[in-house]
Amino acid sequence: MRSSGLSHVTFIVSDLDRMEQVLTTVLGAVRVYDSGSDTFSLSEERFFLIGDGDSATWVAIMQGDTVLPRSYNHVAFQVQREDLPALRETIVQLGLDIRPPRSRVDGEGDSIYFHDHDGHLFELHAGSLRERLTAYSAAAESGD
């Protein structure tokens, strides 16, 4: 037996409204559930869908204490390359911390990395796994 794929991603956040603003304005998320004062799980929570149709990603946010060390652990969302400049501006306008990009192999795709207010690291990635593997293979063959 093996997994059929990702079910959902949950973030514990100190401020549900502030995280909702990040999800909706940067990632185009649509809220589909808000528990309000009901706590069917561990705390108040909201559910969002990011993307379209059956392939949309379910993201949950839950109210809680967050003290995260900053690391490279992150969640990456697929975006279009031409949208990166506008997304960067939106991230700056929200006062989020953009992380300097890592070095890249030509052709593997472009990314913006940013931390939310609670220290979660997000990546907005314009590229695919196939493109990355092709770029890595070409770099290995050329000795770069």
**104-132 residue pLDDT tens:** 777 777 899 999 999 999 999 988 788 88
**pLDDT at site 3:** 67
Residue type, 11: F
57-63/8-13 β-pairing: parallel
Which domains occur in the chain, in start order?
1-65 (3.10.180.10), 68-144 (3.10.180.10)
* Residue in 20, 44, 45, 131 annotated catalytic: 45
Query: Which of 77, 74, 113, 111 has the alpha carbon at shortest distance from 97?
Result: 113
CB 46 within 8 A of CB 35: yes
- pLDDT per residue over 16-66, tens digit each? 999 999 999 999 999 999 998 887 788 999 999 999 888 899 999 999 988
Q: Which residues pair with 124 in a beta bridge?
A: 77, 112
Is 45 considered catalytic here? yes
**pLDDT at site 50:** 95
Q: How many CA atoms lie within 13 A of 108 on its CB side?
A: 13
**pLDDT at site 69:** 84
Query: Which of 21, 80, 76, 24 has the alpha carbon at shortest distance from 50?
Result: 24
* Res. 4: pLDDT tops 80: no
Residues 97-102 have a mean pLDDT of 88
pLDDT band at 135 (very low <50, low <70, confident <90, very high): confident
* Res. 144: pLDDT tops 70: no
